[in-house]
Every structure is written in C-alpha cells, then in structure tokens.
Structure 1
C-alpha cells in the first residue's frame, strides 16, 4: 500500500478500491484472507488519514484478525524515531483463525518490519490430485505449413478399413480419429497469445503512449499537483494521442469500406456488421438460479445445461391442437414418401461429397472432436470416398450417427438484456463438421431453387441478414428525409 505523504490518500483509496472489487467478486464463493503491509493501523492510539480510511474499509468489509486484538507494533523506523502496527492478516470469517502472533523485534532481523503469523483451521487433504490443465485452445494449427502429401497418405492408410465397416457410428469414430492423427503428425502448431489487446498500436501511437507514461511518472514525482506545468504537458500529450488514435481508426474504416467496394465478399460484409454492433458489457460473475444469485461457475454450468436440455424437450401443451395435428399429418406424408424410395434410394456420389466439402466455411471453430473444415478441404480426394460410404450408409440404413447429435453450446446474451437472468441467453452451437458436410450434400439433392428475387433464405449468395440490412437502411433513409 502507498506510504503516507502529501495527498497520498487518493492513491490509498484507489488501492483499496481494487481490493474491494476483488472481495466483492469472490466473497460469495470463497473465504477471504487479506495480508500485507497496509500502511495504516487499526489501533485506537493513532488516527491519521490512512488510518481513518483503513478502519472504515475494514469495518465495511467485515474484516478482522479473527482473534482478540494484539497491541504490539510490527513496524520500527530504522532511526528508532517511531513505531506502529501496520502489518496485518485479516479474514472475513473469524473461524478461519485459531491463533494470531506478532513476533518480537530481533537483532538479526534487518527489516523495519517484524513477522506476523497465524494458524488457520483450513485443512488440505494429503491426497489432493494436481489440477488437470485444459489443453484446448492453447495451440493453433498452421494450415499454410501443412505437409499435404503425408497428411493424405496417412488418411489413405485407414480408408479401406473405414469403407469396409458396416456400422455408421464406428465409421464416424474411425474417420474422426484418422483425421486427428494425421493432423497431429503433419500440421505445425503455434502457441496462441491469449493475452493482450486486440487493437495493435502503430509506431507513431506507441511513441505517444511512451511519452504519456514518462510525463505521468514525472508528474507523480512532483506530487500530482494540478497547477504544475507537468500536468499541462501531460494533458496536451494525451490530446495528441487521442487525436492520432481517432485518425487511424477513421483511416481503418475508410480502408474497410474501400475493400468492400473493390472486392465484396461475405467475410468483409460480416466484419462491417460486427463493427457496427453494440459492444456493451455482457460478462457477469453471477447468475440468478432459483431466485438466488449464484457465483459458483460449476453450478452455473450445470444450470445452463439443465436449462437448454429442458428447452430441447418437446412440449405438446404449448401448441394448439390444430397445429399439432397438421404436424402429425406432415410426418405421416414424409414417412410414406420415404417408404416408397426405401427399396432403391438415390445415393451420394464422390463428386457431390467433394462439392459439399468445398462449401464449408474455413477459419471457424473446431467441433467437439477437434475437426475443422480445413481437415476435409486439405484431403478432398482422399476423404471423399470414405465420407461417400458413410453418407450412403446413413441413407440406406436410415440411421443418424450419434456424433451428429452433439455440439459445443455457448450461451450468448441477447442485446440489452440482464446478464444475470438465464432466460436472456440464446444458445449458439458448434455442430460436427462432417455433419455439416452431409447437410450440404443432402440439400443439393433437394434442389431448393429460389422462385422470386425477394427470396433471401435458402438462396445461394444471399442470407436473411442481407435482407434485414436493406430494410433497416431504407428505413433510415426515409426517417432522415422525414
């Protein structure tokens, strides 16, 4: 904590504010132990500006030493001009501490402080297993450096045994394992840099940032006086920094617009949409479960799982009888049509499967098995016979592989909704990559062609979000001209 000097109470409060936020975040799920040189005393014999702030903070947060207060001092000035008690171990639960001790000043102790020790009631099991580190999302596959020939050769070695297998689920397990094994051997990996800002400062901005930091340190050394010339210099330098950042951001926007005009594509289009979306704070450390706020991540995860599982279960009582009867009639018609084609259904060809692989979007998240579109697109000719065999087995045996029914579901907060309410989240699911390939191949057989220029869904090169953009832009223009 900051030492006591001119106007240090402001910096002292800032430090306590940080500690306050940490305690607020974890006090519902953890026991709090705060220890260190607090540069303020809880004794009644002293009451300077730090002492008053610290006593108020400790009282507000319900902190204490857990036992009767010890009056002995913990800090002794090197010149022996003064001494005080400023080193503490504080807890929010008195039952945590069974013994509190302040050591006597020793001649062999060269520090100005003496040691403070406590005996806690916390028990740690001797057979505690080390935490298993999460290995996901730590590395990124470098597809541009893949050994394509070896990758295809490794998959080719497993192709015959996969095609000869009759069970669809076994086939899926075998092809997934083959793709993952081949990828691990032939695709270099690089460590993901998970920390740091997404925005990269230019060299000019970095110079201004360093200048602002240096000026701030110099201003801090003179006591942060508001009327000091250093404060004026710092304000001017910050003004230059903000101006430079705004200029670069404006230039970045213009470059994006120019790219969209010169080479329009879906990736640039969605970049534009995401840029204009609200970047409101959506994170929360608590969730409202059964009318109570819960701070335990494991219980929150289970509650989300239960919530989405309940959503997926059909409920007849929420639909009208007329609608339900219509659905049953449709289902009967589908089954009759399938029965007619069951004897000799139209099967997939390798060219159809290769075309479906080509439609997969790259640079997307891996599915639950770790398979991405790149795994298939870098082995089109090799993996197509295998997938053709699997897809035809699905058609002939009318069996959906179990793996097609799994996915990684992520709750995403709806716009401008309370993040603590579970019902305000929609589930976004990463479905199996091979399942998507089957869907693309199957959709091609359905021959869904648009019959009107106003049809945006199920239309190649178009999507409903484009229609939405046209409508919102038209509405904006009409409002603009009254």
Structure 2
C-alpha cells in the first residue's frame, strides 16, 4: 500500500465479512527530550488507522519499544494512552512474557505486541503466543504470533457463484421434468380422453414463454445447455454445401461461383475500377429500408439517412480505398445471426 514509511508498513487483506488492514511498526528506540520522534510516529499510525477504520478491521503489530506490562514509565504511558484513544485491545489471556532480551544478559522486557480493534476481538478471538528463545534465533527479540480465522472473500464469492450455478441447473432439470411430464400427459390424453387432450393443448398454446426448452435436429433431441450444441450443428449444416439437386440450389451455386471467378480475374488483371462518388453513396443511402435491426455496433439505416450529407464523402472514400486495395476490412464483414423461433403453421 502507498501508506507508511521506513518504520511503518501497511498491507490490506481481502477478508470476509470485512477487509483487514494490517499495520506493522518499528517504533523509535532512542529516548530524547519529550520523545518527539516516538509521538510523531504514533500520530502517523493514527492517521493511517483513521483512513482505513471505516471499511477495514485494524491490526497493529510490531516492536513498540514500550510496554503495557511494566512500571509506568513515561513512554509506556504514552503508548497506553495511544492504545485507548484508538480503541485498540489485547485479547483475554494475552501472555505476559519478555519479548526483548538485552545483549548484556541483564535486562528483559515485553515490548512486541499485537493490538486489535474491537471487531476482531469479538468475531475472531485471536490467540497470541510468545515463543521461547531458541538457540538459532540470533535476534534480541523472540517470535510473537497471532492465530485468528480470516475468511477469504474471493473464495466466498466463488462458492456463492458455484451455488447459484447449481441452483440454476436444478431449476432447469425441474423445468425439463415438468415439461416432459406435460408432453406425456398430452400424448396419453390424445389416445384415451379427448376432453383432457384439448384442455392440455389449450393450456400449452396459452404459454407465451419465448424460451426454447427442447430442440430437435432430425430425430435427435437436445435439452438444457445442450441446445447450444444443437444450434451449432444446425448452422454448420447450413454452411456446408450439399450438391444434391433436390436439396441444394445448383443454379444459384454456379452463379455464385461465376461471380467469384470474375472477382478473382479482376483482381489479377489490375483493371481500373471506377471510383465511387458521394452522390452515388447518397442515392444508395436514400434507398435503404428502415425499421430494420441494428448492426453489432448499434448502428441502423436511420443513422445513415439522417446524417447522409455528413457521411456520404467519408463512405465514398472508404469504398474507393477498398477498390484500390482490393480488400474489404474485416470489421465490415461481421454480422449478427439471431435464430428466431416461429410458430408452426397449421
């Protein structure tokens, strides 16, 4: 985080139900007249806590170079007042043991702390431990740890997302089961009970839902999420040429091939193409049909008609660039394909 300095480090944790701000401090050790540097560092920490307090729960830890558990020295009193003013606490059962051991071997004191705001004390009940000195520890401080439960907000969001997905899956399954049952009732009634059959048909026709629950491609049935696969198969078949004259319009196919051959020949013959003029563009725009759906950018024919004078020269320039380069920009080849479910006639 941008807050802090060489003595104060600030990190934030995306915990749940509220984020956590962890402030680690190394307080000045040298005592000067009035302890100005020590008090100034405490003021800086207070400003950081004020910045984050409203939306974060606060943890302050580090080498405080003052104690809450010894005789009331002046610096200890300043530190204790700072703790109370900022509503910081140590949990019940906080250990009272030395955390600092002077190199002369004569003096020890407890000056390393974890302090928590009231929300953490109430919700997480942190457990602070002070480790025994270990031969491999060359520091004059021993290890102080705090154990507390912090929930990962990102993991909670992911879990909620998975639950919603599972719920939607169950809803689709329930809806499909209900639909299947309804269809079976219609089929059975058509054979045995004419009155019930017509009642069910009327109920079916009164359902104006625009969602497709079942889709058939030939004799194959697709339901739920597999409907998207069905559309893929359907449009893939539409886009694959079938030269059976009973199915495919061979005459149109040959005309399209002839057109492509002419384009290819013109491209390689380098014949000069007549330049488009703004007047031709204006005429073309005026003949555009209105009331049609817009393109992928939300632009429809009405936009061109109302701005025909402003756009005609720009469009003519684009067309002439295409004639010159013999290449149509990719974004002009895009289109929107929307399957529309139509009622069966008869």
Q: Which has the higher strand share?
A: 2
Pairwise same-fold verdict (TM > 0.5): no
Question: What TM-score comes out, normalization by structure 2 length?
Answer: 0.39
Question: What TM-score comes out, normalization by structure 1 length?
Answer: 0.29
Higher Rg of the two aligned structures: 2
Higher RCO, 1 or 2 (CA under 8 Å, sep at least 6)?
1
Q: Which has the higher helix share?
A: 1
